[in-house]
A = this chain, B = another copy of it.
């Protein structure tokens, strides 16, 4: 049986982020990360498929929380309300104590086109998953796609604002504001 040391995954992520910032993403190997975290390379690969995935681990949990939020929305909720329920269910991932880590992570990604592509693909995958969750609640296809992509868009803009240098508002405050902006913008009010 594999002994699954609690906290190993978090330690690997912290060590990777540290090395990606100090040494550069391209010059850091999985072996370097394992060593910095005090585990074997083999242990690294039990947790992550490659060094790129260290930055994106946790995405499934976020997606799962979002989808559960959609599923738990009131029976008479509109598609937008279902998406809002998903956004609020995912918000606890972005607590104040995660902000510094998220800022460092975002800086690493923004400096590397291959990582940006991976991030876009993850976001597109999230939109697809949310679309399916909305469809299974009876939302028609086009509406489900628009609602899901709007949700991912609101999340993306809120997240980008939250990790901006100098920004101090909480993720939930920012997300509420971005959602309000979306509704105001599409109402077409001049």
A residues bordering B, Cβ < 8 Å?
A: 76-81, 113, 116-118, 120-121, 124, 142-143, 145-147, 149-150, 153-154, 156-157, 161, 177-178, 181-190
Can you list 6 A-B contacts (CB < 8 A)? Answer: A80-B186, A113-B121, A117-B120, A117-B121, A120-B124, A149-B156
Contacts of A153 in B (CB 8 A): 146, 149-150, 153
Cα–Cα distance between A113 and B177 once the two chains are bound (Å) = 35
Contacts of A78 in B (CB 8 A): 185, 188-190
* Copies of this subunit: 2
Contacts of A149 in B (CB 8 A): 153, 156-157
Contacts of A143 in B (CB 8 A): 181, 184-185
Cα–Cα distance between A147 and B149 once the two chains are bound (Å) = 13
- Additional 11 contacts, C-beta under 8 A, given A79-B185, A113-B121, A150-B150: A78-B189, A80-B185, A117-B120, A120-B120, A120-B121, A145-B157, A146-B178, A146-B182, A146-B185, A149-B153, A149-B157
